[in-house]
Amino acid sequence: MNNTPLIYAPVAVLNATGERQAMFQTDESGQVHFQVAAGSEYRLDIRYLGYADTLVSLPKTQAGTLRIQVALPPSSIILQGVTVRAAKPTIRYDAGKLILSVSNTPFAEGSNILEVLQKAPGVSTNLDGALSFRGKQGVLVLVDNKNIYVSGEDLSRYLETIPSSEVEQIEIISNPSARFDASGNIGVINIVTKKSKEKHLNGSVQGSATYGEHFRPAGSLMLNARPSEQWGFYGSYNYAGGKTLTINNSRREIASAGAPFVFDQGGDRISNKTDNRVKAGLDFDNGKHLFGCLFNGFYTQTDIDNQSLTQIQRQQTDSLVQFRNQSDNNWKNLSGNANYQWRIDSIGQLLDVNLDAAGFRYSGMDKMESRFLLPDGNPLRSAEVLRNSSPSKVQIWSAKFDYTYPFKPRNYIQTGAKFSRADTDNDLVFELQQNGTWALDPKRSNHFLFDEDIAAAYIDFYDYSDAGWDYGIGLRTEYSISKGNNLTIDSAFTRTIFQLFPSGYVRKFFGKNSLMLSYNKRIDRPDYNSLNPFVFYIDNYSFWQGNTALKPQLSHTADLSYSFNQQLFVNLFHTHTRDVFMQFPIQNDTEKTVFNTVQNIGSSDYTGLSVSLYKSLKPWWYFAGTLTGSYTNVKDTRENGSPGVDGFQGYFNAYNGFSLPAQWRMDLSLTVNLPNRSFWYTKGYSAVSIGVSKSFKQSTLSLYLNDIFNQSRYRSSIDYQNLNIKSYYKPETRTIRLSFSYPFGNNKIKQQRDRQTGMEEELKRVKN
């Protein structure tokens, strides 16, 4: 069996009673050397990312320098001819992040990475497929520490095309250190894929066919090549397509003298999407210096047919409005990253430099037709036909460097700086059809420019003590200048923000158990669409509009986490947010219209408890479950706002995996969302899903039935101030999917190098 040297792996030297004497790191060749006393007994405590803590006793030796080669084969650690089997845990905590080892996870076999994420501690998806962490949306998802420029339903469809066999581990960072951008109050999920190590070509092919109301194909091709020890190439292509159906009904009441006005609407939307994504990269690594470049690109085309019928009532139906919006949208992106690393010495001194550039282009055309009818279906007045084009472009540049300096093998600092710039240009052109010709509608048209510069610097300090303690503290500072210019109405603004963002954690080990307390302060800047003042039609009486006055929200988060035997994980967390923003409807009782916009509501306090269990109940039965409950209090400081709106929400997910004879598997999962009360009251819902898979020599065939009883739906209502709205939202969740994955080439692999670019925060704010 070939053994791979562990480069820069931490090694603790213990005496005969288990007290830590010193802490060292292996060098570039995987060796560790230290001074020993004659006749003394020593033990080595080796902790390597993704592997169980390993304790090895060394024979007594003469005084002098002891050199030990530390090497790791696929399932064991070799120390001077002594073999110690290393059981890879499914989940473990390491330096403030929770690591899910996908390659050793029973429920990952034959599945895609979205299915694995849905079973990770604290992670869930809503009915649109958007990822949430501990009940809150907005988590930043990276692949190999790079943003993938996609969110919501598109993110879920992309993750469905990545087979779990291509992923080494998933890192869930609830409280990122100062090294990370201060943006966001949810956390970071980093998906670390595998990468070729030997001189060979390998990869995988994955394909799936999903059917609910419509057919949706998807597939991916991933390749890794290493023609020499120093050169490495990798790339992938992902495709997802097909139609989805969404049912959207609502009832809105507007108080008036006598009977209220009632807008009773029923509608559906069919979205036909084609998504193509390409990634290509190369690395040159001679052990001392590393040069790498990475390119990403995607092209997404979406055709949407949205139809609705609204009954306008006051005691009885007065009129009807038939509305139809047919839209054709195209979204393109090309981004590149250049990376340089200088491993200055063997004790871990490192310089890391990243240069990034990304460009986005959007072009869309919407054609909207409204027919106004009497209750008997005859015309009330002439139809209104509108169309709009909304070309937009986003350019982002960034440069950052990170420097690591170990004071001792047991403590070190990281410091760095970053500069980024983003330019956006959005031009909305509305036209009204009059007598068969199109005429510009200047009241609805708008041209908006926005640019932003952010400069940041940080420092982190980490220390590992002899008594099973470790801690880290950090401070980040960010200064931003934002400029907006509405060319249509000749209105401009400039905002500057300077903030300090402290962070830190302290952790105590009790054998295989650990207790950790962490804190950080973060900022969540609005995405670029939310700052755009354009008015977008939902129908004749409902609109969506951006808000140029939107301010960032600032959050303070404290987290107490306990890990027991790498199986039970308990988290108690609290977040206080100032200038909290959320999408909120504003109703004009006179015009009978409602505008949905993102507003700064006030402040919020979010407190919760999450408990996760990952355990083999039987040799053939694996269980993974998470229960999360949280309580939110929001103080609405707007005019006539409520001093306190309270709400509870809860989420439960249980997965059962059964290993059957002849390489068969069966998976059974249950998801329960409890009722949620805040400004909106949302009824609870649940879903039961089942899957079977068959593993062959090198491939896996899977059949998965999602939401068998078709119970996943949103039923929500709001009765606040002048708002009285009930809504029903039902996406296409009951589906059957047949998937096939086939890895090829040499299966000796390692994870891709841990690599951050400089654009994670900026790219998160670009939405398609």
Question: Which is more confidently placed, 20 or 631?
Answer: 631
Confidence of residue 87 (pLDDT cuts 50, 70, 90): very low
Q: Which residue has the higher pLDDT, 23 or 732?
A: 732
pLDDT tier, 177 (very low <50, low <70, confident <90, very high otherwise): confident
Give me the pLDDT at residue 751, please. 40
Highest mean pLDDT among 67-71, 100-104, 670-674: 670-674
**Residue 542 contacts residue 596 (beta carbons within 8 Å):** yes
Q: What are phi and psi of 144, to 5 degrees?
A: 55, 45
d(CA 95, CA 538) in angstroms, rounded, equals: 46
**Cα(251)–Cα(295) distance, rounded to whole angstroms?**
47
The pLDDT score that the predictor gives to residue 224 is: 87
How does DSSP classify residue 187?
Answer: -
pTM: 0.78
The 10s digit of each residue's pLDDT in 352-364 is 999 999 998 989 8
> Is the pLDDT assigned to residue 317 strictly greater than 70?
yes
Q: How confident is the model at residue 640 (pLDDT cuts 50, 70, 90)?
A: confident
| pLDDT-based confidence at residue 250 (cuts at 50, 70, 90) | very high
Closest alpha carbon to 458 in 49, 46, 761? 761
Cα 670 to Cα 704: distance, rounded to the nearest angstrom: 14
Task: Give me the mean pLDDT over the 52-78 stretch.
Answer: 58
Tokens 């509405």 appear where? Answer: 486
The token duo for 273 is: 């999407």
Token pair belonging to 701: 């065939």
Alpha-carbon dihedral sign for residues 143, 145, 146, 149: positive
- pLDDT band of residue 287 (cuts 50, 70, 90) is confident
> What percent of the chain shows pLDDT beyond 70?
82
pLDDT-derived band at 75 (thresholds 50, 70, 90) equals: very low
Residue 110 has pLDDT above 80, yes or no: no
Residue 85: predicted pLDDT: 37
Residue 451, CA distances (Å) to 140, 164, 598, 667 in order: 22, 39, 19, 49
The reported pLDDT for the residue numbered 1 is: 36
Please state which of the ranges 22-31, 519-528, 643-652 shows the lowest mean pLDDT.
22-31
Residue 29 has pLDDT above 60, yes or no: no
Band (134; pLDDT cuts 50, 70, 90): confident
575 neighbors 626 (Cβ within 8 angstroms):
no
Three-state secondary structure readout of 379-439: EEEEEEEEEEECCEEEEEEEEEEEEEEEEECCEEEEEEEEEEEEEEEEEEEEEEEECCEEE
Please give the helix or strand (H or E) that residue 158 lies within, else none. Answer: helix 152-159
Q: What is the mean pLDDT of residues 189-211?
A: 80
Q: Is the pLDDT of residue 54 over 50?
A: yes
Quick check: 479 pLDDT over 80?
A: yes
Residue 768 clears pLDDT 60, i.e. is over it: no
Residue in the block written with tokens 């010709």: 437
